[in-house]
Amino acid sequence: MTIALRDLGAPAEIDAIDPLAHPLQAYIDELHERHLACREGQVADYIPQLGRADPDWFGIAIATADGHVYLTGDADVPFSIQSISKPFVYGLALEDHGLDEVSRYVGVEPSGEAFNSISLDPVTGRPSNPMINAGAIASAGLVEADNPTDRINRILDMFARFVGHDVAIDGDVYRSESDTGFRNRAIANLLRNFEILQGDPDEVLDVYFQQCAILTSCRDLAVMGATLAAGGVCPITSERAISERTVRHMLSLMATCGMYDYAGEWVFRVGMPAKSGVAGGVLGVLPGQLGVAVFSPPLDAKGNSVRGIRVFNDLAAMLGLHMFHRTDPSHTFIRNRYSGRNVRSRRQRNSVQTQTLDRLGEKVGVWELQGYLPVYGAELVIRDVLANSRDMTHVVFDLRRITGVQQSSAMMLARFAVDATEHGRAIVFAHAEPHAAMTQAIDAAFGSLPQRPARVCADTDAAIEWCEDRLLDESLCQRPVSLASIEQFDLLNALTAEELDVMRDLLEERYAAPGEYLMRQGDEPDGVYFLVSGTASVLLEGDRPIRVATCSPVITVGEMSLLERRPRSATVRADDPMHYLVLTLDSFDRLRAEHTEIALKVMENVGRDLSTKLRQANTQIEALSD
C-alpha cells in the first residue's frame, strides 16, 4: 500500500462501519451532552412564528474546508436563517457593484449596538454596517435585479451555490415577520428618506423578510462556513459561490460586527468571524480550515443563542480555533504513507520471521507527517488513518519532519491513540520527543491508564521494530535459541540431524559484555558468529558512526567472511550481555575438506540470505522514495 507523494490527494472517505471514531466527532458529541441540560435564554417571539420553536432543539456541525462534515444532535432540523443571511446578501451586493459603490450606501464600522438599532449616519443616513438590520435592508436593495422576484431568486441561487443544493423559504416565518415587522418598516422608510434605498421601500423590505426566512440547518450552515473557509468554493460541489475578494470582505465584517454588541468579547474569546440569527443559529468560520454551526433557539439578551455561544467558547478553547492562531500555508501534512511489509526495521530477522513479516507486515502502517500541524492538519491526518487503517493493528506517526504541532492538535492525536488502543490498534509516535506539546498530550491522555499503550519511540526504525516484535510475538515466532536448537539459524537450513551434530562440535561458545566489540570494521575476519542471546548493533564507523542494523538471537553476523576473506565491513558491538557461537574460518576450512556437502549447504544458505536482503533493500528504497 505504498503511495507516492503525488498520489496523496484528499483523504478517502472514512468507512462508516469502522468502530473507531474521529476525535472531532467525539468532541462535538461531548459538547452536545455538556450543554444539553442548559435552560437559560428565551426563544425569540417578536416574530410570532419563531416563538413556536422547541427550546430543546440543539445541533452542532463542523464542515472542513475540503468538505468533510461532522454532525451531532439536531443538526438536520430546518430553521430560518435570519440574520445569518446578512453577510451573504452583502457579499452579493459587493459582487454586483464593488466595494466603493456599496460603501456609499452601507459602512463597515461596528456600531456596538443591537441588531435592530437605527444606527444611521445623522447627515448621510448611511447605516454603520451591513450586519445590523438597517445595513442589511440597504444591502438587499443593492442586489441587482429588474424586480423583487428576480432579486430574491438571485439571492436563493447564491445560497444554493454556498450550500451545494437548492434552498427554500419558510412561508410561515416570512408572513409572520412581514405582518409584524413594524420597526423594520420604519427603518426601510428612513433609508428611503435618505435615498439609501431607491424605489418602493416595501418591495425591498419584502425581499429582506424572505431572505431571513430561508430554510437552513446546522449541516447547511457549516457547509456555507466551509465554503467561506475555502475562499468561496463550495467543497461539496467544487463550484465557486462567490469571489475570493468578497469572501475577505464578508469575513472582515463578520469578525467585527457579526455578533453585534457582543462582537468584541466574541473576537477576543472565540476569535472566529461569525454571524448569529434570532432563530438560534450561529455560524463561525475559521479561514482556510473549517465552518462551524450551532443551532439552539433560546437566546440571550443580545439576541445570540445561549448554547451557541457556550459551544463556540468551549470548542475554541479545546481546539485553539482562534483566527490569530499561527498557521502554515502548507496543506500537505502527509508526506508519505507505507506499510511494514515494504519497509522493515533494521533489526535482522531469520527467514521464518522474515516470511511472517512478509505475510503480516500490512498490519503496520507508517504515516510520515510534515510541516506545522494545526487542528485541521491533525483532523485530516486522523481521517486519512481512519480511511486507510481498517486492517491494521499498528499505526506509526512519524513526526520527524513536522516543524511543530498546535497543542490542540497534539491532544487530538493523543486522544485518537487512546481510542485506537481501546479498539485494539496500537499507535506509536516516532520522533515525538522534540515536540513538548505532543509528549505532554500523550502523557495527559494515557496518564491515568495503568500502562502507556501508545509508545513514544526515539525514531521510526525503533517504532517499526516494536510493531514487528509484537506481530512476531503474536505469531509465536520469537522462540529462544540454544546450542540444542541451532537448526533455527538460517545458515544451517536443510542440514540433517547428523550434519547438525557435526556443526555443534565445530562451534565455539563465546560471551561479550555490554559495550564490548564482537568485531571491528577493518579487522581481519576470523569467522561467522551465531547469536544465541542478547542484542548487538551493527555500526558503520566513520566521522559520524551510524547504526545500520540491530541483531538478536538466530541471526548470524560476519558470514561474508565465508565468501571473501577481506577485512570486516562493519563493527558489531554488544548492546547487552551476549552469548554467541563462532564458526572460525579454520573450522570452516576443515568442514570443506571433511564434509564438503555440509559446507556446500552452508554456502547456499549464505547466498540465499544475501539475495533476500538485497530484494528487501530494493522494496524499501521504492517505498521511501518520493
Spatial distance between the Cα atoms of 439 and 407, rounded to a whole number of angstroms: 10
Contact 287, 229 (CB under 8 A): yes
Contact 259, 277 (CB under 8 A): no
Nine-digit cell string for 69: 462534515
The catalytic site residues sit at 83, 86, 208, 260, 278
| Minimal distance, residue 132 CB to ligand DON, in Å | 9
Contact 429, 454 (CB under 8 A): yes
CA-nearest of 480, 535, 533, 538 to 509 is 533
| Minimal distance, residue 39 CB to ligand DON, in Å | 20
Helices (H) and strands (E) in the chain, counts: 19, 22
Exposure on the CB side of residue 609, measured as CA atoms within 13 A: 26
Nearer of residues 83 and 353 to ligand DON, judged by Cβ: 83
| Minimal distance, residue 305 CB to ligand DON, in Å | 9
Nearer of residues 309 and 381 to ligand DON, judged by Cβ: 309
What's the burial of 586, exposed, middle or buried (CB within 10 Å: 0-12/13-18/19+)?
Answer: exposed
Q: How far is CA 452 from CA 12, 304, 418, 444, 527, in A?
A: 30, 43, 9, 11, 43
Nearer of residues 278 and 531 to ligand DON, judged by Cβ: 278
| Minimal distance, residue 183 CB to ligand DON, in Å | 8
| Minimal distance, residue 164 CB to ligand DON, in Å | 23
Spatial distance between the Cα atoms of 603 and 610, rounded to a whole number of angstroms: 11
Which helix (H) or strand (E) segment holds residue 190: the answer is: helix 182-193
Nearer of residues 214 and 230 to ligand DON, judged by Cβ: 214
| Minimal distance, residue 276 CB to ligand DON, in Å | 5
DSSP string, 77-133: --EE-GGGGHHHHHHHHHHHHHHHHHHTTS------S-TT---B-TTT--BS-TTSH
Nearer of residues 137 and 382 to ligand DON, judged by Cβ: 137
| Minimal distance, residue 136 CB to ligand DON, in Å | 7
Residues at the site binding ligand DON, with contacts judged by CB under 6 A: 82-83, 115-116, 133, 177, 184, 212, 276-278, 303
Which helix (H) or strand (E) segment holds residue 162: the answer is: helix 148-163
| Minimal distance, residue 184 CB to ligand DON, in Å | 5
CA-nearest of 532, 516, 507, 483 to 582 is 507
Nearer of residues 274 and 381 to ligand DON, judged by Cβ: 274
Spatial distance between the Cα atoms of 93 and 550, rounded to a whole number of angstroms: 68
CA-nearest of 229, 232, 82 to 170 is 82
Nearer of residues 59 and 280 to ligand DON, judged by Cβ: 280
Nearer of residues 216 and 556 to ligand DON, judged by Cβ: 216
Nine-digit cell string for 121: 449616519
Spatial distance between the Cα atoms of 470 and 478, rounded to a whole number of angstroms: 10
Spatial distance between the Cα atoms of 469 and 480, rounded to a whole number of angstroms: 14
Spatial distance between the Cα atoms of 272 and 132, rounded to a whole number of angstroms: 19
| Minimal distance, residue 115 CB to ligand DON, in Å | 4
Exposure on the CB side of residue 392, measured as CA atoms within 13 A: 27
Nearer of residues 86 and 415 to ligand DON, judged by Cβ: 86
